[in-house]
């Protein structure tokens, strides 16, 4: 029995997207970024499906430990590194790699008495002003770590792009130039590109690329959908009608009575809401598919339900399939535009309550999208 609201993961699409990364990235090795529960898709399932990537990256130490405990044997990198001595010791004990981006981390490494060593990804701040050593302190940090017995001699040198999703933005060229001039003469593999870099900035594809959203078939560009880049969406988000009813002209729908029926309305109640990760703040008119037909959402989204106008799908009955965002039509990018956000937040926002079905073909045929 399928639950009322559920997700479907197309792991073939995920692997297709990894192949696209390899094609676009040239000879670069691929550090697949699967932080935040693999952008909402499920950390372990995705890690297994991406076993052929050259490494996996997460944001936090506990995410990396979870991967190790599930028996994942890929190289694993923690993008925020360690934020205490205990975390550093845990990383060393589990053979997990760390981004090092501040002086405190360097001091902890210098004072570390572990026998085993750690692989360090040393981060330069080229203008994003988030994590990383500034240009003037980078070489000194590199020297300190080179002399540090607990740090393996082959460091990877990296930076992160702030505006790569804005095609032609001069900031990206400035960041790439600043990176190249700062790391000049230092030995070590280099890494710059996120998804937007891979898709739009060839110069950012160096020894390692770090794709996140594109692996999940979501475009980082607000004006270009994933299909433009031949990427395939991985997550479909589905539900069902749990009630269908006639509502008279002039009646108000849902909390706050924000939507008033201008005419007699055939109303569909869908069994999914913000408690499942559907964005609460989307406006009336946001599209939803019922039996594969586009109908407008009306009224406020509530925790467990949302309501749609079934005028264009008047033979719909309780139990009929609903697509909130799909893998073939009504892509998450479109819903993100209605929600005035980016696909990342919608994907990561899927909640624990949503079960993911294993039998993709069967699940998708129910939805007919
Ligand atoms: C999240 C993240 C990425 C991946 O970004 P996408 O835009 O999802 O491709 C790459 N590098 C770092 C440091 C990140 O934090």
194 Cβ below 6 A of ligand 1: yes
Select which of 202, 249, 255, 263 is catalytic.
255
Whether the per-residue pLDDT at 363 is higher than 70: the answer is no
15 Cβ below 6 A of ligand 1: no
- Provide the pLDDT for residue 365: 59
Average pLDDT, the chain: 96
State the closest ligand 1 atom to the C-alpha of 198, by its place in the atom list counted from 1.
Answer: 9
CB 40 within 8 A of CB 350: yes
CA of 191 from ligand 1 middle (Å) equals: 11
Q: What is the pLDDT of residues 119-177, one digit of tens each?
A: 999 999 999 999 999 999 999 999 999 999 999 999 999 999 999 999 989 999 999 99
The band of 285, judged by pLDDT with boundaries at 50, 70 and 90, is: very high
Q: pLDDT > 70: what percent of the chain? A: 97
Select which of 6, 35, 123, 190 is catalytic.
35
CATH architecture of 235-366: Beta Barrel (2.40)
- Provide the pLDDT for residue 361: 61
In sequence order, the 6+-apart residues with CB closer than 8 A to the CB of 321 are 238, 239, 240, 290, 291, 292, 366, 367, 368
- Provide the pLDDT for residue 1: 80
Alpha helices in the chain (DSSP H): 11-24, 35-39, 43-49, 61-69, 85-93, 103-110, 135-146, 170-183, 195-200, 332-338, 343-348, 360-367
CA of 117 from ligand 1 middle (Å) equals: 26
123 Cβ below 6 A of ligand 1: no
CA of 321 from ligand 1 middle (Å) equals: 34
Query: Which sequence spans correspond to the domains of the chain?
Result: 11-218, 235-366
CA of 2 from ligand 1 middle (Å) equals: 34
Q: What is the pLDDT of residues 198-223, one digit of tens each?
A: 999 999 999 999 999 999 999 999 99
Q: What is the pLDDT of residues 13-65, one digit of tens each?
A: 999 999 999 999 999 999 999 999 999 999 999 999 999 999 999 999 999 99
CATH architecture of 11-218: Alpha-Beta Barrel (3.20)
- Provide the pLDDT for residue 368: 44
327 Cβ below 6 A of ligand 1: no
81 Cβ below 6 A of ligand 1: no
262 is catalytic: no
Q: Distance of CA 134 to CAs 120, 122, 139, 145, Å?
A: 17, 11, 10, 16
Average pLDDT over residues 183-192: 97
Mutate to test the pocket of ligand 1, among 56, 192, 210 (most ligand atoms within 8 A of CB): 210
- Provide the pLDDT for residue 201: 97
255 is catalytic: yes
Q: Which helix (H) or strand (E) holds 168?
A: none
Residue 231 backbone phi and psi in degrees, to 5: -105, 150
Query: In a 10 Å sphere around its CB, with 0-12 CB exposed, 13-18 middle and 19+ buried, how is residue 263 labelled?
Result: exposed
Whether the per-residue pLDDT at 235 is higher than 50: the answer is yes
212 Cβ below 6 A of ligand 1: yes
- Provide the pLDDT for residue 59: 98
- Provide the pLDDT for residue 258: 87
CB 41 within 8 A of CB 9: yes
Q: Nearest residue CA, atom 15 of ligand 1?
A: 79
């Amino acid at each position: 029995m399928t639950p009322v609201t559920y997700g479907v993961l197309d792991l073939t699409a995920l692997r297709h997207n990894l192949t696209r990364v390899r094609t676009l990235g040239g000879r670069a090795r691929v550090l697949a970024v699967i932080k935040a529960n693999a952008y909402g898709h499920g950390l372990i399932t995705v890690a297994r499906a991406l076993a052929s990537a050259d490494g996996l990256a997460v944001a936090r130490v506990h995410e990396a430990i979870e991967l190790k405990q599930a028996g994942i044997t890929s190289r694993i990198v923690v993008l925020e590194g360690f934020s205490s001595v205990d975390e550093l010791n845990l990383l060393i004990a589990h053979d997990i790699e760390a981004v090092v981006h501040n002086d405190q981390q360097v001091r902890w490494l210098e004072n570390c008495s572990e026998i085993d060593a750690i692989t360090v990804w040393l981060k330069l701040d080229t203008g994003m002003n988030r994590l990383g050593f500034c240009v003037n302190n980078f070489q000194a940090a590199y020297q300190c770590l080179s002399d540090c017995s607990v740090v393996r001699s082959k460091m990877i040198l990296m930076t992160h792009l702030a505006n790569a999703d804005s095609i032609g933005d001069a900031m990206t060229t400035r960041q790439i130039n600043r990176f190249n001039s700062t790391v000049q003469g230092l030995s070590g593999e280099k890494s710059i590109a996120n998804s937007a870099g891979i898709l739009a900035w060839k110069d950012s594809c160096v020894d390692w690329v770090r794709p996140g959203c594109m692996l999940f078939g979501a475009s980082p560009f607000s004006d270009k959908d994933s299909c433009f880049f031949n990427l395939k969406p991985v997550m479909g988000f589905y539900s069902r009608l749990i009630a269908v009813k006639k509502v008279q002209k002039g009646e108000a729908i849902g909390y706050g009575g924000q939507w008033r029926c201008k005419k007699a309305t055939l109303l569909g109640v869908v069994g999914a809401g913000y408690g499942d990760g559907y964005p609460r703040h989307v406006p009336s008119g946001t599209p939803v598919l019922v039996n594969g037909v586009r109908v407008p959402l009306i009224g406020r989204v509530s925790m467990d339900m949302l309501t749609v106008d079934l005028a264009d799908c008047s033979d719909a009955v309780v139990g009929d399939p609903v697509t909130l965002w799909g893998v073939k039509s009504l892509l998450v990018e479109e819903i993100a535009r209605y929600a005035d956000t980016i696909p990342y937040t919608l994907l990561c926002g899927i909640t624990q309550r949503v079960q993911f079905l294993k039998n993709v073909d069967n699940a998708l045929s129910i939805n007919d999208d």
